[in-house]
Amino acid sequence: MKTMNRAASTQCDLALFGALGDLAQRKLFPALFQLERAKLLHPQTRILALARQEVDEEAFKAQTLERFKALLPKNDLDDAALKRFFGKVRFQQLDFGDAEGYRRINEWRGDSEDPLIVYMATPPAIYGMIGENLKGADCIQPSTRVVVEKPIGHNLESSFEINDRLAEFFDESQLYRIDHYLGKETVQNLIALRFANNLFATQWNQRYISHVEITVAEKVGIEGRWGYFDKAGQLRDMVQNHLLQLLCLIAMDPPSDLSAGSIRDEKVKVLKALKPITPDLMETHMVRGQYTAGNIDGKPVPGYLDEEGANEGSSTESFVAIKAEICNWRWAGVPFYMRTGKRMPQKLSEIIIHFKPAPHYIFDPDQKHLANNKLIIRLQPDEGISLQVLTKDQGLDKGMRLRQGPLQLSFSEAFNTGRVPDAYERLLWEVIKGNQYLFVRRDEVEYAWRWIDQVIEGWAELGLPPKKYPAGSWGPVASIAMITRDGRSWYEDA
């Protein structure tokens, strides 16, 4: 009989394919360990690490522990939690194309009736093969959940192929497509902020909002991933998934409840309403960039074309800025300016909602430029929300001089919660609970690709090369021109 306790519904077995890969070692095992440390993993939960390489179990555990030491704060590595965690882990060598070998998963499962979670931390090209072999070995039950990683394809057509293959073996209700941005603390807070506070709910439309900015800036370059990145580029790597998901969460109508179906339905409506960026709009609505050598934090870094493994003359973009428009009543006339790039001066992900000025201005005309409230939603670093409001400057001599200042909510200071869990911890925890609301449904992936594909077709038609920007800068000058043309500026330029 199964133990009935507070965590009974989270009892599961987890089979992790690609256990020696970068994602598994750098993100998934540390996240699972943190869940164990927080005693969220059920005492009977077991983890099967599957990898092609011949490694014995003790060596696998030793290697994983070494990664923990390199990645996690020393204080997190308490002996009791490590012992509990590694007590749950088994290692199994398997070539994922070896159908026969899958019987070892059944041997590991024994007569367990707990849901099996399959995490495919592998190239998407083999998702179908793994599904087929799991089915052949009778490992799939209705309770099985399958986690797959981005990118789901390279364009709409290839995403269809991957999704069709997965659909041969799994129902949509069993699929958890990861977009790790949906696991970030502030992204979830965006849902709370918008739908728990009537103050914002009533202002959240074109009557009160003039424009929205989304910046996802990375300091890193391509980190030795030329083979993958040069085929993808920043538009596919970051915009098709993370930035469009953020845009959807900002722009969607209120869902009727917090269920996965309701939230995903609303997100899909936003994706369907995105105005296509046709070739005639390319000049004003889109900037592509590629970094050249420069300095970050005072240290020289190479240009994109000098990165490890680079091919001469690549025209892949490492930066993109877009003026997106949403064709519906709520957002008519409200541009969403998005930019994302590698080798920027700092790692920064934030969303800025710019409110329109009050309808009638009665203060010092010299201060009129201050008159727009801004809501700043910071995803990383220093997660928090800040509302820029105008108040009277203090002091008898100041008269009715206005001062702009923040009503600020830093999550770590306000809630004293200590560490903010990594996105993968939250997402794995949601998979364990069987909650799909932070995962991407098939039609979301496909509508996002439809929009991205026409942009890429436009680039190809016009033959637009990327504009150069020095590493350590905020992207090509043209991205500043794109927003200043509308009489606005990127937030940190203000």
Ligand X SMILES: NC(=O)C1=CN([C@@H]2O[C@H](COP(=O)(O)OP(=O)(O)OC[C@H]3O[C@@H](n4cnc5c(N)ncnc54)[C@H](OP(=O)(O)O)[C@@H]3O)[C@@H](O)[C@H]2O)C=CC1
Site string for ligand LXAUTJHC, 334-353 (x = CB under 6 A): ---------------x----
Q: What track of x and - describes contact with ligand LXAUTJHC for positions 173 through 212 (by CB under 6 A)?
A: -------x--------------------------------
Q: Is 95 annotated as a binding residue?
A: yes
* Residue 264 parent element (H or E): helix 260-273
* Residue 413 assigned as binding residue: no
Which one of ligand LXAUTJHC, ligand X, none interacts with residue 218, CB within 5 to 8 A by kind? Answer: ligand LXAUTJHC
Q: Which of 239, 455, 469, 221 is nearest to 337 (CA)?
A: 239
With CB under 6 A as the contact rule, the residue among 213, 237, 444, 453 that binds ligand LXAUTJHC is 237
Binding site partner of 319, from ligand LXAUTJHC, ligand X, none, Cβ cut-off 5-8 A by kind = none
Give exposure, 355-372, as e/b (b: 16+ Cβ within 10 Å).
bbeeeeeebeeebeeeeb
Cis upstream peptide for 124 (omega within 30°): no
* CB closer to ligand LXAUTJHC, 64 vs 349: 349
- What minimum distance in Å lies between the beta carbon of 152 and ligand X? 9
- Residue 218 annotated as lining a ligand binding site: yes
| Helix or strand holding residue 462 (H, E) | helix 442-462
Instruction: Find the shortest distance in angstroms from Cβ 349 to ligand LXAUTJHC.
Output: 6
Point out which residues bind ligand X (CB under 6 A): 18, 20-24, 51-53, 95-97, 121-124, 126, 149-151
Hey, is 388 helix, strand or coil? strand
Annotation says 285 is catalytic: no
Residue choice 218, 325, 383, 430 for contact with ligand LXAUTJHC (CB under 6 A): 218
Nearest partner of 427 among 13, 7, 31, judged by Cα: 31
How far is residue 33 from each of residues 66, 75, 76, measured CA to CA in Å? 13, 13, 10
Task: Establish whether 83 is an annotated binding residue.
Answer: no
Yes or no: say if 48 and 108 are a contact pair by the CB < 8 Å rule: yes
Q: How far is the CB of 117 from ligand X (least distance, A)?
A: 16
Pick from ligand LXAUTJHC, ligand X, none: which does 52 bind, CB < 5 to 8 A by kind?
Answer: ligand X
Q: Kindly tell me which of 81 and 305 has the beta carbon lying closer to ligand LXAUTJHC.
A: 305
State in angstroms the smallest separation of the CB of 30 from ligand X. 12
On whether 237 is known to bind a ligand per the annotation, the reply is yes
Q: Which does 149 bind (CB under 5 to 8 A by kind): ligand LXAUTJHC, ligand X, none?
A: ligand X
What the block records as the tokens of 43 is 């005492």
Q: Please identify the residue of the shown chain whose CB is closest to the bound ligand LXAUTJHC.
A: 237
Cβ closest to ligand LXAUTJHC, residue 61 vs residue 180 = 180
Q: How far apart are CA 285 and CA 464, in angstroms?
A: 13
The annotation status of 347 as a binding-site residue, yes or no, is: yes
Rounded to whole angstroms, how far apart are CA atoms 261 and 88? 33
- Can you say how many angstroms the Cα of residue 3 is from the centroid of all Cα atoms in its chain? 36
| CA separation for the pair 48, 118 (Å, rounded) | 10
- Beta carbons of 47 and 12 less than 8 angstroms apart: no
Q: Is residue 342 part of an annotated ligand binding site? A: yes
C-alpha–C-alpha distance, residues 160 and 156, integer Å? 6
Please name which of 105, 165, 108, 164 lies closest in space to residue 140, comparing C-alpha atoms.
Answer: 105
Q: Is 468 annotated as a binding residue?
A: no
3-state class of 478 per DSSP? helix
237 binds, among ligand X, ligand LXAUTJHC, none (CB under 5 to 8 A by kind): ligand LXAUTJHC
Structure tokens at 396: 């008898």
260 binds, among ligand LXAUTJHC, ligand X, none (CB under 5 to 8 A by kind): none
Among residues 42, 154, 242, 285, the one annotated as catalytic is: 242
Closest by Cα among 186, 183, 182 to 409: 186
Backbone angles phi, psi at 301, to 5 degrees: -130, 150
Task: Point out which residues bind ligand LXAUTJHC (CB under 6 A).
Answer: 180, 218, 220, 237, 349
Residues annotated within a binding site for NADP(+): 52, 95-96, 150
Active site residues: 242
